[in-house]
Amino acid sequence: MSDKTWLFTSESVSEGHPDKVCDRISDAVLDAYLAADPMSRVACETLATTDHVTIAGEVRGPDSVLKDVEEIARNAIKDIGYEQDGFHWKTAEIVCRLHAQSSDIAMGVDEGEKGEEGAGDQGIMFGYACNETEELMPAPIQFSHRILRHMAEDRKSGKRPEFGPDAKSQVTLQYRDGKPVGLDTVVVSTQHGENVTQEQVRELVEPYIKGAFPEGWTLPADRLIVNPTGQFVIGGPDGDAGLTGRKIIVDTYGGAAPHGGGAFSGKDPTKVDRSAAYAARYLAKNVVAAGLADKCQIQLAYAIGVPEPVAIYVDTLGTGRVDETKLATTLREMVRLTPRGIREHLDLLRPIYTRTAAYGHFGRQATEDGGFSWERTDLADELARTFGATRAAE
């Protein structure tokens, strides 16, 4: 329909949000195990509250890592920036309740006769990409992340010591005919020092709003809402308990695409909750980068202990230029979607996960050390050739 318009909203939370503190600790523990032994199995959950952190879950790896868990947690809290009454990296109580992985689960997941490994759990995983931003991500979540990431960078560098670690952003965009065309509302809540007024907080936040959006996008003053509840001095786990895996929509597409329900942080790549979600994003991003569709959503489904996905579904949401059934078959031929196949193709058995714990697992830059390998578009040229398409400009 011509000139169809609507609003869409996504939110992000900073690395100092209570749930993100827990994600960070869980992923730091995972990285420590993978650094010691790439074949470690880890399912690490963290809870944080006032002056307390509990780390629990199942692991199979070097016993030497267990003695370092408390230090790993304290270093994570320190790097985030918590040195406040009620939650301080030096004084918080750290309790470790990690224990050996269930032998029943291990039996189903371990490598079998054909050199494959079974999926670590049953479930469905989704990947998504669209051409709304250069990162091929939905614009509202990408802009929400950008605001908080830049605020955190300046806080940690000392440029903006007025900000505290805990913060949230929310972006509402105007859409017309399927494309974001402008701003409607931005909400930012940020922890701050005791001597900082709400007027000062607003003045400090405004430049980060202006810098986050495309040139020419404007926001009326009454549509920028900063710290709507007023003073925000007490933050982090002292203000609200945190748990690993509670921000799964923040971690993915901001509600613009479905989520299978499984969290990512603290899980090694045999857990398809994580690795298959990365693979689905990788495939969807390459489809869009190849110019085969403006949007692509991919669903994978697994059974515990079974290597091959029981189903793959490709949906280009009415924007596709090729047959979706053929596209699904081609993608499955290009990438082996077993846990081992995904792990090897994306090189996932590296200590690369701590950096994923805040500001999104997707829409990031692939790095030389293997981080965010699922953001590569190295399949796009072959896909474009296969279907006779013109690759989308990068």
Would you name the residues annotated as active-site residues?
A: 17, 19-20, 45, 58, 168, 232, 240-241, 246-247, 267, 271, 273
Q: 128 forms bridges with which residues in the sheet?
A: 297
Q: What are the angstrom distances between the C-alpha of 250 and each of 88, 204, 218, 357, 358?
A: 25, 24, 24, 10, 9
Q: Which amino acid is at 86?
A: G
| Residue 58 among known ligand-binding residues | yes
Instruction: Check whether 114 is labelled as a binding-site residue.
Output: no
In one letter, which amino acid is 345? Answer: H
Q: How many helices (H) and strands (E) does the chain have?
A: 10, 13
Is 142 one of the annotated binding-site residues? no
Q: At what angle do helices 339-346 and 272-289 cross, to 10 degrees?
A: 60
Characterize 234-259 residue by residue with b for buried, 16 or more Cβ atoms within 10 angstroms of its Cβ, and e for exposed. Answer: bbbbbbeebbbbbbbbbbbbbbbbeb
- Angle CA(328)–CA(249)–CA(95) in degrees, nearest 5? 120
Neighbouring C-beta atoms of residue 97, cutoff 10 Å: 10
Any known ligand binding at 240?
yes
Q: 236: alpha, beta or left, given left = phi > 0 and alpha = psi -120 to 50?
A: left
Query: Is residue 19 marked as binding?
Result: yes
**Is 263 among the annotated ligand-binding positions?**
yes
Ligand-binding site membership of 246 (annotated): yes
Distance CA 394, CA 392 (A): 6
Residue 385 counted as an annotated binding residue: no
Consult the annotation and say whether 271 binds a ligand: yes
Residues making up the annotated binding site for ATP are 17, 166-168, 240, 246-247, 263, 267
Residues making up the annotated binding site for Mg(2+) are 19
Residues making up the annotated binding site for L-methionine are 58, 101, 240, 271
Residues making up the annotated binding site are 17, 19, 45, 58, 101, 166-168, 240, 246-247, 263, 267, 271
